[in-house]
Amino acid sequence: MRIRILAAGQPGAVLYDRPWPAVGDVVEDLPTTVAAHLVASEVAEEVPDDPPARRRKTRKGDDDG
């Protein structure tokens, strides 16, 4: 489970035996139960594994012909 950290940790805080990540950092290697707990506590949000592909829209009448 990939998560993005939403809350800053206190000075010296640790997350799973390493320094607390900065706000906005994406963490990928936590156990699912730990990551799910952080999401449920609103300390982090889940990040989809593969973001959906963005489609490029074309406007009608934009051709040069």
Residue 65 pLDDT > 60, yes or no?
A: no
pLDDT of residue 36: 97
Taking the alpha carbons at both ends of the chain, their separation in whole angstroms is 49
pLDDT-above-90 percentage for the chain: 72
What φ, ψ does residue 40 adopt, rounded to 5°? -65, -30
Nearest Cα residue to 46 out of 5, 16, 2, 8: 2
The first and second tokens of residue 36, run together, are: 């799910």
Beta strands in the chain (DSSP E): 2-5, 26-27, 44-47
Give ∠ CA 2-51-21 in degrees, rounded to 5: 30
What's the whole-number average pLDDT of the chain?
Answer: 88
